[in-house]
Homo-oligomer: A and B are copies of this chain.
């Protein structure tokens, strides 16, 4: 096991009716910028609940943060923060709104010339506005980590940053708000959760027995609970379980002391940047290609996943890998995501563009840092 540090101070406030506790959770007298997305919170009652809870606070609203939050949009919020002396950010929405709000928090206190450098050059963050959230979509786990992904349409870039300064002070998770989510978003979130676990698990055997079992715990629970949604989408416990899984899949807990391979996310982000493919769907498309291409390097962990999560007891090692890939795709299909290169418009030209872009950045993906442009072409050609 490698040496590691782990610290995650986020206070999780989980359950029915927790939104009304906002006044006790936010510092008294705070001047709040309330950020949100395209307005779904106005349809499902969350907006009204939050506004009512904040009636004794000074609140400025900033709506319109897009899925895959755009740098230009977020910089408008940074202007408001500065002009109106905002001292607390409250994100009300899904992972995109929260990721965007984390960037607003960091950019508002950024001392350098161009806040885009936080994403493009990993410019150091030395301070940020305090932020918190009411999270409405189980998917990204952003509610319990210090990571964010921001996009720039003009340059088809989608880049990540992380800093302990952007941990939410608290995250309110009320599973009842997910009852009204569109099935496509729910399905995307389930796939995102599964693949967050995979990217911290399907690497190389490292004698990290507990981390392995904990990753499998989330996948086993996901495979058990997700199918129940069809029968009874308003089952509170099913929704609560699924939300808690999403939160834990990316709170830093699974990857302590072990290698990680974020190749599926790295390549998926490029598909979203180029073609606007939903994040979850881009992942569902790419993962089987990564596994097929890396079947030698990742075979041991793929087989362990197949055996322990899907109960595959195939003695032939190559067949066991194939069966695990098929079981994983079937799981994605069972929740409603049947990923397809053709449907998403992933042409040979798009693939070449992505490969060239990655090579031009000089980065290589994966826990062995062996996935370059040529490998990306191989991977995407191995996808359905």
Contacts and interface: CB of A to CB of B under 8 A. Distances in A.
Contacts of A10: 7
Copies per complex of this chain: 2
Contacts of A216: 213, 217
A251 to B, nearest CB: 10
A237 B207 contact: yes
A8 interface: yes
A208 interface: yes
Contacts of A248: 210
Contacts of A257: 14-15, 240, 244
A225 B237 CA distance: 33
A245 interface: yes
Nearest to A144: B6
A3 B207 CA distance: 35
Given A12-B7, A16-B3, A217 B221 contact: no
Nearest to A2: B15
Interface string A167-191: 0001000000000000000000000
Interface of A: 1-18, 170, 207-210, 212-214, 216-218, 220-221, 224-225, 236-238, 240-241, 244-245, 248, 256-257
Nearest first, the 4 A-B pairs at minimum CB distance are A3-B15, A213-B217, A7-B11, A207-B237
